[in-house]
Structure 1
Amino acid sequence: MKKLTRYMLPACCVLLMLGCQSIDPQTGERQDPLQGFNRTMWDFNYKVLDPYILKPVATGWKEYVPSPVSTGLVNVANNLDEPVSFINRLFEGEVKKAFVHLNRFIINSTFGLGGLIDWASYSDPLKIENDRTFGDSLGSYGVNAGAYVMLPAYGATTPRQATGSAVDMGYTYPFWHWVGGPWSLVKYGIQGIDKRAKAIGQEALLEQAQDPYVAYREGYYQNLEYRATDGKVKPSESGLSQEELNSID
């Protein structure tokens, strides 16, 4: 039954994704069929969860955890994404970029104490801007992102990204099963806290927006496009800078 569930979830997400476009082809406006639910979840995340839990934790991470410690922990967490990025790049036919991720993983795991030190980034050919998810790979093939969904605590997603996350987890399932499932939560927790800490300086974007929900939703879709096209979306077209696009996830 567990195996059946693991395969059914991605299949159902794909069906939902194919049946719903994020842009109305007639009006060109953003479709948001779950807006009522999404706004309720947004209010919970933005007005309750973030100010009382996430932001204080992220602030403590930024101000009180020594930089070498926080950087090292994030490096280890990010290093574990490299094999997944390698597979997803191969899926896209991007062999050269795929081996950048593989080489990064080998170098940092071997000479960087399991990834604590990101030695690979000291070499320009091995520098990367983002990891590569299966959702990004689907987007590179023109698969529509689908309807916007705001989930409590988890944040924004779409059927395409949810499918991608399920597939990415399938890649790494044997590893996490071997090391222990709870450690995967530690990995994603570290990455989430660090990402929230880096976004503290971007809060004015939402505070000054006429409708923060819409501003975040559009920024999220722009970031999906930015990642799927390897940054070929120009900041002038998206309305956000490269740094701002990277802070939205």
Structure 2
Amino acid sequence: MFKPIYSALIALTILSGCTSVPEEKKDERDPLQSINRPIYDFNMDVLDTYILRPAAQGYLAVTPTPVRAGLVNFTTNIAAPIDAVNAGLQGKPGDMGVNVARFLINSTVGVLGIFDVASNFGLEHKDEDFGQTLGVWGVGDGAYVMLPAMGPSTVRNVVGDVVDKVVLPEIALTTPQTLLIFALRAVEARASLMAQESLLKESLDPYVFMKDIYFQRQLYELHDGNPPVNEEPTDFDEDFLENL
């Protein structure tokens, strides 16, 4: 199912092979910028313009807010065991316990997770992923990469996403179910960004803006919302970070 993505990546790599990055725009975090920028343009000018944004607009038009909330709760609950495993691997037994409890409560009383009953008991969702786990273990970000159809990432988080979204889900879910969950999350995330998309369009360099926001988000998540003072990110919109 990944062949179209890799084909697009290869084609864009060939097309951008002779493109050089001006010295003043080089970024140590982004050694693949000459490849990443054409992929970013493809994502925004083609995939987002003609597929994802129209799909998100249609989704907002036909889906009542309570139904959207139920879908978000459902997809969050499906990922709770993965959150719990990663919390354990990061040495956070408390967060692991919260996620396990949330999954048990919401999967039963919450009707397969459609209703977030656990939050009413003070059990707030603890979002953890394998990319964060690798970061806690001391693995660096690696190069910044822009993936066709999937957006910004780093080498570390690509590995983390493969574990979180392919390896672990396939243990409990079928491939069609995994793809359905991925599609629901993608459309909901894009719909949630409608109000913030002007920030991207009005920035001097949207590519750099998205990259900086992405790294701020990684820092924010790695330190559970409390980054070190000397590394604290600049002002940002939390909704933008959460859905990027």
Matched residue, 2:124: 127
Distance 1:94 1:208 in 2: 40
Matched residues in 1 for 2:225 and 2:136: separation?
Answer: 11
Could you tell me whether the CA contact under 8 Å between 1:61 and 1:70 is conserved in 2? Answer: no
Residue 156 of structure 1 aligns to a residue whose secondary structure is: strand
Q: CA deviation at 1:141?
A: 3.3
Aligned length: 216
Amino acid of the structure 2 residue aligned with 1:224: Q
Helix, strand or coil at the partner of 1:49: helix
What letter matches 1:244 in structure 2?
F
Matches within 5 A, 1:238-249: 238-248=234-244
Distance across 2 between alignment mates of 1:101 and 1:165: 19
Contact 1:83 1:102 in 2 (8 A): yes
**RMSD of equivalent CA atoms:** 1.9
Q: Residue by residue, what CA displacement relative to the aligned partner does 1:162-181 show, whole Å, maximum 9, x if unpaired? A: 111222232232212xxx21
Contact (CA 8 Å) 1:72, 1:116: kept in 2 or not? yes
Q: Residue 21 of structure 1 corresponds to which residue in structure 2?
A: none
1:139 deviates by 1.7
8 A Cα contact 1:139 1:225, kept in partner: no
Q: Could you tell me which of 171, 180, 202 is aligned with 2:168?
A: 171
Specify the SS of the correspondent of 1:237. coil
Q: Which amino acid aligns with 2:188?
A: D
Structure 1 residue 72 corresponds to structure 2 residue 66: no
CA spacing shift, 1:146–1:236, aligned 2, 3 Å = closer
In structure 1, the residue matched to 2:98 is 100
Q: In 2, are the aligned partners of 1:75 and 1:116 still within 8 Å (CA)?
A: yes
Whether 1:57 and 2:55 are equivalent positions in the alignment is: yes
Deviations 1:153-194 (A, max 9, x none): 111121111111222232232212xxx211100001101110
Identical columns (%): 38
Shift, 1:236, TM fit = 6.7
Question: Could you tell me how far apart the structure 1 residues matched to 2:221 and 2:85 are?
Answer: 16
**Other structure's SS at 2:31 match:** coil
Q: Please report how far the alpha carbon of residue 110 of structure 1 lies from its aligned counterpart in structure 2 after TM superposition.
A: 0.8
- 1:48 and 1:77, CA in 2 relative to 1: closer, same or farther beyond 3 A? same
Counterpart of 1:31, as a letter, is R
TM-score by length of 2: 0.83
CA distance, structure 2, for counterparts of residue 42 and residue 245 of structure 1? 18
Q: 1:96-245, aligned counterparts within 5 Å?
A: 96-124=94-122, 126-128=123-125, 131-168=127-164, 169-176=166-173, 180-233=174-227, 237-245=233-241
Corresponding residue number in structure 2 for 1:24: none
Is the deviation greater in 32-41 or in 66-75?
A: 66-75
In structure 2, C-alpha distance between the alignment counterparts of 1:58 and 1:229, rounded to whole Å: 31
Question: Are 1:46 and 2:44 matched, yes or no?
Answer: yes
Distance 1:141 1:190, change over 3 A: same
Which structure's relative contact order is higher, taking Cα pairs within 8 Å and 6+ residues apart? 1
1:193 partner amino acid: V
Kindly state the Cα deviation for residue 51 of structure 1 after the two structures are TM-superposed.
1.6
Letter in 2 for 1:73: L
State the alpha-carbon separation in 2 of the partners of residues 170 and 48 from structure 1.
29
Take 1:73 and 1:59, find their aligned partners in 2: how far apart are those partners?
16
Contact 1:76/1:116 (8 A) holds in 2: yes
CA contact (8 A) 1:226 1:245 kept: no
